[in-house]
Amino acid sequence: MAGMLELKSMQCPLCNSKDKMIIGKPRRIDYLFSTITTIDLSPVNIVLCRRCTLIYVDPFPLFSDALLEKMYSNENKYFRELTARMERITHLENPVRCFRTARRFSEREIRNYLEIGCGEGFGLQSALTFNWNVYGQDVSPDFAATVKCRTGIDIMVGRIHEFSYTREFFDFIYIDSVLEHVTNPVEFMKYITNFLAPGGVIYLVLPNENSIPNFLKDFVFELKGSNQTSRIMPFSEPYHIIGFSKQSILYLGKILNLTIPYLIRKFSYNHIERYKQSFSITQLLCRQVFGLVHRFCDTIDKGVNMEVVFVKSKAEIMEKWLKRRLLFIKNENT
C-alpha cells in the first residue's frame, strides 16, 4: 500500500493562512486505512483556521487515484443501505427541492445540467424529470457503472481537471456532498465556475461544521476526557478532509466572485435515522432525543446540513449596459 497516501504539511486550503488552532484528533480509522501501515497517522490533527474558520486535516492527507477508487467503491460499501424513509428523502425529495430552489435564483432558463460527484445517480435521475440535458461526473468507475444502469447516462469518470466541456456551457451545476472531500477547494470551485454560463447557478450541499450538534458532541468528548473531535472524519467513511461553516462559505463566495442569495443550515433532522441497522431500546431512545435536538437546531438555522446557492450574476453587466444605453438615448435627443 506504499505510495497510496502521503501526509503533507500545508497552510489553510481556503485562505492560505498559517494561523490555526488544534481542535482534536480524528475520530475513527477504518479497515481501509488501518491496512496502510507505511504511514503513521498518529501525528494527524483536525485544525481550525483562525482567519477564515475552515476546518481541515493537518498534516493534510493526499490520496492516490488508486486509494480514492478503493475509498469510493461498492466493495468498501461507501453508500450504505438507507431506511425506506431516508431513501425517499435523499433520492427524491431533496434533489427536487434543491432544483426548484436553484431554478428560483437562476437568471437564465436551465437547459444544461451538470452534477459533480453524482455518486449513485439519483440527482441525475431527478434532473431528467425536469427535462434538462443531463451530464454527470464522478471519480469512481464503480459508481459510473451504477449510474449507467440506473439512468442510461454515460458520466465522465475522473477528476474535474480532466473535463472537456465547453466554457460557460452549463446553466446549473449541482454539487452535493463533494466539496468536503477535495484537497484544494478554491482551485476546484474556480475550475467548475469556468463551465457555468453568466446568470447560471451552482447549488452546493455540504455539512455545516459549526452546527450545534457538533458542539454538543465535542462537549461530550471533552467530558469523557477524550482528545477526539466530532468534526470531519478523514480516515473513515465519509472521508471528509475539509469542513465549512457559513463564514468560510461566504469567504469562498468572495474569492469566486459569485453572489450568495441563499444559504440555509436546515434539513438535518433526517440524518438521524439514515441507515438500516438494529438498535437496542436505549439506543432507540437516544435517537429520539438526538432527533429532537436536530429538529430544534434546524428551526434556528444551526443544523448539521448546509445548502448554498451561488449565482454568476448578470446584474453588474446589465447595469453597465443600461448606463451606456441611457447615455446613448440622452445624446440622441440632444
Distance in Å, CB of 245 to Zn ion, minimum: 11
| Residues 27 to 66 in contact with Zn ion, rule: CB under 5 A | 49, 51-52, 54
Distance in Å, CB of 326 to Zn ion, minimum: 42
Q: Per CB under 5 A, which region of 13-21, 62-70, 176-184, 195-203 contacts Zn ion?
A: 13-21
User: Which value, in Å, is the radius of gyration of the alpha carbons in the chain?
Assistant: 21
Regarding 242 and contact with Zn ion (CB under 5 A), the answer is: no
Judged by beta carbon, residue 248 or residue 270, the one nearer Zn ion is 248
Question: Applying CB under 5 A, what is the total number of residues that bind Zn ion?
Answer: 8
Regarding 258 and contact with Zn ion (CB under 5 A), the answer is: no
**DSSP tag of 112:** E
80, HSE (Cβ side, Cα atoms, 13 Å): 8
Regarding 14 and contact with Zn ion (CB under 5 A), the answer is: yes
Sheet of strand 133-138, all strands in order from the earlier edge strand to the far edge: 156-157, 133-138, 112-116, 170-176, 196-207, 305-311, 259-264
Distance in Å, CB of 54 to Zn ion, minimum: 5
List phi, psi (to 5°) of 241.
-110, -15
Judged by beta carbon, residue 23 or residue 54, the one nearer Zn ion is 54
Distance in Å, CB of 251 to Zn ion, minimum: 8
Judged by beta carbon, residue 16 or residue 194, the one nearer Zn ion is 16
Cα torsion 240, 237, 295, 300 to 10°: value is 0
Task: Report in angstroms the alpha-carbon separations of 178 from 90, 205, 206, 219, 319.
Answer: 15, 8, 7, 27, 34
Distance in Å, CB of 50 to Zn ion, minimum: 8
Regarding 15 and contact with Zn ion (CB under 5 A), the answer is: yes
The whole-angstrom separation of Cα 85 and Cα 272 is 11
Helices (H), the chain: 31-34, 65-71, 84-88, 94-105, 122-129, 141-151, 185-193, 212-223, 246-256, 281-299, 315-333
Distance in Å, CB of 13 to Zn ion, minimum: 8
Residue 279 burial (CB count, 10 A): 11
User: The cell 507505511 sits on which residue?
Assistant: 38
Judged by beta carbon, residue 54 or residue 118, the one nearer Zn ion is 54
Counting beta carbons within 10 angstroms of the beta carbon of residue 317, is it exposed (0 to 12), middle (13 to 18) or buried (19 or more)? exposed
Distance in Å, CB of 202 to Zn ion, minimum: 21
Distance in Å, CB of 243 to Zn ion, minimum: 12
Judged by beta carbon, residue 53 or residue 137, the one nearer Zn ion is 53
Regarding 250 and contact with Zn ion (CB under 5 A), the answer is: no
Question: Which residues touch 112 (CB under 8 Å, ≥6 apart)?
Answer: 132, 133, 135, 169, 170, 171, 172, 197
Distance in Å, CB of 231 to Zn ion, minimum: 15
Site string for Zn ion, 142-161 (x = CB under 5 A): --------------------
Q: Per CB under 5 A, which region of 12-20, 141-149, 180-188, 216-224 contacts Zn ion?
A: 12-20
Judged by beta carbon, residue 54 or residue 155, the one nearer Zn ion is 54
Residue 265 burial (CB count, 10 A): 23
Binding Zn ion (rule: CB under 5 A), the pick from 3, 6, 8, 17 is 17
* Residue ranges in contact with Zn ion by CB under 5 A: 12, 14-15, 17, 49, 51-52, 54
